[in-house]
Structure 1
Amino acid sequence: MTTTPTAFQKSLPTKITMSRIVMVPFIVALMWPDTLWWNVAAAVCFILASITDYYDGYFARKYQAVSSFGKFMDPIADKILVTSILTMLLAHDKIDVWMVIVILARDNFIGGIRSVAAADQIIIDAKPAGKWKTAMQMIAIPIVIIGNMDPYIPYLDKVGYGVLWVSVILSITSGIEYYLGYLKSRKA
C-alpha cells in the first residue's frame, strides 16, 4: 500500500536545497575571525551544508517530489555555497587565485552548455569527473577552512590544499567531458 506524500513531504527537498543557501552567510561569518576554533565551527557547518546535497535528492525521489525548480536550484545552491567559501579562503590567502578562476570559469561554462542544451532539448547526464570534483571539493574545503593545526595535526592545511588542486584538475576534465557530451548529443 502506497501513501500519498503530504504537502510537507513534497516541499521538503526544496527546503533542504534552500537551507544550503541560507547557511552560507553563517559559514562566512564564522570564517571571518580566521582563528582555529571559529574555523572548526565554520568547517562543521560547511560539512552539514554539503550533506544536504545528498538529502534533497534522496527525499525528492522518496516522496516523488522531483521538480524542475529542484533540478535547477540544486546545482545553483552548490555553486553559491562553494564559490562563497572559496572567496573567503582567497581573502584569507589560504588558496590560490587560479583555483577560484578555474572553478568559476568551469561552472559558468557548464551553465552555458546546459542552457544551450536545454534550448536544443538535449539532456546531458552528469559525468563521473564532475561527481569526483564535487567530492574532492567537499573534502578539501573544510580542511582548508580549518587550516594549520600544528602541533595537533601537522600539514593538515597542505593536505587540503593538495586535494583542492585535484578538484581543480577534475573541474577542467569534467568541463571537457560536458562539452564533448553536448557535441555528441547534438550529432545524435
Structure 2
Amino acid sequence: MKRNLPNILTVARIVLIFIFLILAANAGDVDSTTLSTRDLVIRIIAGCLAIIAGATDFLDGYLARRWKVVTDFGALMDPLADKIFVTATMLIVVEFRLMPAWIAVVVISREFMVTGLRMLAVKKGVVISADRWGKLKTAMQMVMLFLAGISWVNLYDLRVDVVWGIRLWYVWLVFLWAIALITVGSGLGYFIKYRALIRPDEPVENN
C-alpha cells in the first residue's frame, strides 16, 4: 500500500482536475455580474476540488520522500500532473478574465521548459532540485490561484472592489507581474546553472 499510495494520489489529482474543468465550464456566464444559487454551489464545489488537488501535490511528494518510495510511474506522472493542474486552473482564471492571457502563457511555458530540462538531466544522471526561487515561484502561484479562486466563487470581486481607496485590480496586476518576473527569472536560473546539459563541453553540477 505504501508503495502505491503516492501514485494513487497523483492519479487522483489528474481526475480531480478534469472534474474541476467540467464543473467550471458549467458554472455560469463569464460576463454575469450576479450568480444563481446553482452556479454559486458549482463554483464552491469546483474550488474545493482544486484545493484538494493542489494539496495532493504536496502530499504525494511528502509520502514518497518519507517512505523512500520512488517508481518510474511516479517520476513520469507526478510532474505531468503538476503541469496539468497549473495549466487547467490558469486557463479557467484567464477565461473568467481574472488574469491576462500572456501571464498564463509565460507561466505555462516556463513549467514545460523546465520539465523538459529535468527530463534531459535524468537521462544524464543529474538531479535538478528546486532552488529557493523555484520554491518562491510555486508558493506565489498557489497564493495567486487561491486568491483568484475565492474571487471566482464570488466572495469578492477583484475587478471592481475597492479597499482603503485602492482598486483591488491594480494591486492584483502588480502581484501578477511579480509572479511573471520571478517565474521567468527562476526558469532562466535553471537553464544558466545547468547549461552543460545543452552544451556537453562544460561540466555539469549535480545537486
Structure 2 length normalisation: TM-score? Answer: 0.75
Greater C-alpha radius of gyration: 2
SS at match of 1:123: coil
After superposition, the Cα gap between the structure-2 partners of 1:57 and 1:155, relative to the gap in structure 1 and judged at 3 Å, is farther
Kindly provide the amino acid, as one letter, of the partner of residue 169 in structure 1: L
Q: Provide the rounded CA distance (Å) in 2 between the counterparts of 1:71 and 1:93.
A: 34
State whether structure 2 residue 193 is matched by structure 1 residue 181: yes
Instruction: Identify the match of residue 168 of structure 1 among 170, 177, 180.
Output: 180
* Alpha carbons 1:39, 1:146 under 8 Å: kept: no
SS of the aligned residue for 1:66 comes to coil
| Cα offset, 1:160, TM superposition | 5.7
Q: How far apart are 1:37 and its partner, in Å?
A: 4.3
Conservation of the 8 A alpha-carbon contact between 1:14 and 1:70:
yes
User: Which segment is superposed worse, 58-67 or 15-24?
Assistant: 58-67
Inter-partner Cα distance in structure 2 for 1:75 and 1:143: 24
Determine whether 1:44 maps to 2:48: yes
Please, which runs of 5 or more residues in structure 1 have no aligned partner?
Answer: 1-7
Q: Which amino acid aligns with 1:20?
A: R
Q: CA RMSD in A?
A: 2.5
Any idea what the Cα deviations from partners look like across 1:1-57, whole Å, max 9, x if unmatched? xxxxxxx12100100111110101221233221444433332222111111111112
Distance 2:48 2:104 in 1: 22
Match of 1:15 among 8, 26, 29: 8
> Per the alignment, do residues 86 and 110 of structure 1 end up closer, same or farther by CA in structure 2, a change over 3 Å counting?
same
Aligned-partner residue type, residue 21 of structure 1: I
SS at match of 1:65: coil
Task: Indicate conservation of the 8 Å contact 1:31/1:39, yes or no.
Answer: yes
1:131 and 2:143 correspond: no
Aligned to 2:70: 66
Instruction: Quickly say closer, same or farther: Cα 1:59–1:116, change in 2 above 3 A.
Output: closer
Greater Cα offset, 125-134 or 140-149 = 140-149
SS in 2 for 1:10: coil
Give the counterpart letter for 2:192 in structure 1.
Answer: L
Change in CA separation of 1:125 and 1:150 when aligned onto 2, cut-off 3 Å? closer
2:67 and 2:125 map into 1 onto residues whose CA distance is: 27
10-19 vs 178-187, which moves further: 178-187
Q: How does 1:28-39 map to 2 (within 5 A)?
A: 28-32=21-25, 33-34=27-28, 35=35, 36-39=40-43
Q: Count how many residue pairs are aligned between Structure 1 and Structure 2.
A: 179
TM-score by length of structure 1 reads 0.81
> How many angstroms apart in 1 are the aligned matches of 2:64 and 2:142?
22
Letter in 1 for 2:21: V
User: Distance between the aligned counterparts of 1:155 and 1:52, measured in 2?
Assistant: 34
